[in-house]
Amino acid sequence: MPRYATTIQSPLSVDEVWARVADVTRFVEWDPGVLGAEQVSGDGPGPNAAYELTVRGVRGPLDMRYDVNEFAPPSRLFLVADTGALRSEDEITIEPDGEGSELIYRAELRFGGFYAIANPVMSIAFKFIGWRAARGLRRFLEGA
C-alpha cells in the first residue's frame, strides 16, 4: 500500500507548529495536491472536527471527507478519510527540538475492492506526491 513519511525541523515552537497544522483548512497553503478545504463539522480544530478536502485525483478533483480521529494538542493529529474505494490516513506528530520543533508526517493510502490493483503503481506516484507536499510543508513551517 502507498505510504509516505517525512520529518521536518522547524525553528517555530511546538505550539506555533501545532497552531498551523491542526487547522486542516490550512492544508491548501502547503500541499499542492489539496485544491480546497472546508470544515464541515465542529467549530475550529478539535476532536469532533471533520473537513471536506478537494484533492487532485487521477481523473480530476476528488472530494474526500477527513474526520479527526485523534486530537492531542500540541503533539498529535490523526485524520482518516474513507470513500469505500480509497482510505487515507494522515498522522502528524510534533516534538520539541532544541529551540524549535520537529514534525513527523506520515500518510498511507489503501485502495479497496477492484481498485486494490492500483496499490503497487500508486506506491511510486505517492512518493512524488508526498515529496511535493513535504516541500510545501517545510516552507509553511519555515523549516529545514
**Quick count: other Cβ atoms within 10 Å of Cβ 17?**
26
pLDDT by residue for the chain (144 residues), tens digit each? 678 899 999 999 999 999 999 999 999 999 999 999 999 999 999 999 999 999 987 778 989 999 999 999 999 999 999 988 889 999 999 999 999 999 999 999 887 776 666 656 666 676 778 878 999 999 999 976
Strands (DSSP E) found in 11-124: 34-41, 50-57, 60-72, 76-82, 86-97, 100-111
CA distances from 58 to 69, 118, 119, 123 (A): 26, 11, 13, 14
* Structure confidence at residue 57 (pLDDT): 77
Residue 34 CA to residue 20 CA, distance in Å, equals 16
Handedness of CA 17, 23, 27, 30 (dihedral sign): negative
CA-wise closest residue to 130 among 108, 114, 98, 100: 108
| Domain with 29 in it | 3-140
CATH classification at residue 28: 3.30.530.20
Place of cell 482510505: 87
* Structure confidence at residue 86 (pLDDT): 84
CA-wise closest residue to 62 among 27, 36, 42: 36
Looking at the structure of the chain, the number of domains it has is 1
Q: Which residues pair with 29 in a beta bridge?
A: none
